[in-house]
Amino acid sequence: MTDRAHATRERILVAAERLYAEHGVLAVSNRQIGEAAGQGNNTVVGYHFGTRADVVRAIVRRHAGPVEQLRHRRLAGVGPGAPLRDWAACLVFPTTEHLAALGTPTWFARFAAQVMTEPSLRALITDETLTSPSVARTVEGLYRCVPGLPADVRAERNDITRLVLLHAMATRERALAEGAGTPGPGWRDTATGLTDALVGLWLAPVTK
């Protein structure tokens, strides 16, 4: 790929991520993305990426690599017998650290939240991020800390964990972009609060 083609693809992905985050994935056309990316050709998005799903997948992969590296780095300091809080932190901190490194504004958290609300695209997020080797190892460690949880309760708390992380991060990202107040001054504060919440969630009693 030439430098020019690579630069064009990057501009398209940045524009698509922002528009999807702000307006919803299905509400944005390839033509709008091309215009926002400064491209006069209405077919430029399809030429470089193909379908809407291909654009979404490319955006996810653009962020998944750095987050995966951050999680592997954190996991290197977590032993098999680590407490639940350490495993919960491995779910939370890599993404918030990545968002913090991107500066302000960012759109990835809101983009991910929009994608997860669209059934036809949701699997792209889960396939590219939630099934990564570092996430699998983190979840295995977390499960070892709550061996008595029934399988159905564990599955339910997995779903709740995903929703809490996704929408809490999207809410903070939106507040930062709009200059609104946030519960804490930085992404690290958000990560600490979310980690506390996840510990409470996974240690909560089971009522049958």
pLDDT value at residue 166: 93
Average pLDDT on 183-195 reads 90
**pLDDT average, residue stretch 41-54:** 88
Please give the domain boundaries of the chain with CATH numbers for all domains: 1-50 (1.10.10), 57-203 (1.10.357.10)
Quick check: 88 and 198 in contact, CB under 8 A? Answer: yes
Q: How many CA atoms lie within 13 A of 65 on its CB side?
A: 5
| Integer Cα distance of 18 and 106 in angstroms | 8
pLDDT in tens, 73-105: 999 999 989 999 999 999 999 999 999 999 989
Provide the whole-model pTM: 0.92
Burial 28-67 (b: 16+ CB within 10 A, else e): bebebbbebbebeeeebbbebbeebeebbbbbbeebbeeb
Question: Across the chain, what does the average pLDDT equal?
Answer: 92
Name 103's Cβ contacts closer than 8 Å, sequence gap at least 6. none
Residue 148 reports pLDDT greater than 80: yes
Encoded amino acid at 8, one letter: T
pLDDT at 1 over 70: no
Is the pLDDT reported for residue 25 higher than 70? yes
Task: Give pLDDT tens digits for 114-144.
Answer: 999 888 888 888 877 777 899 999 999 999 9
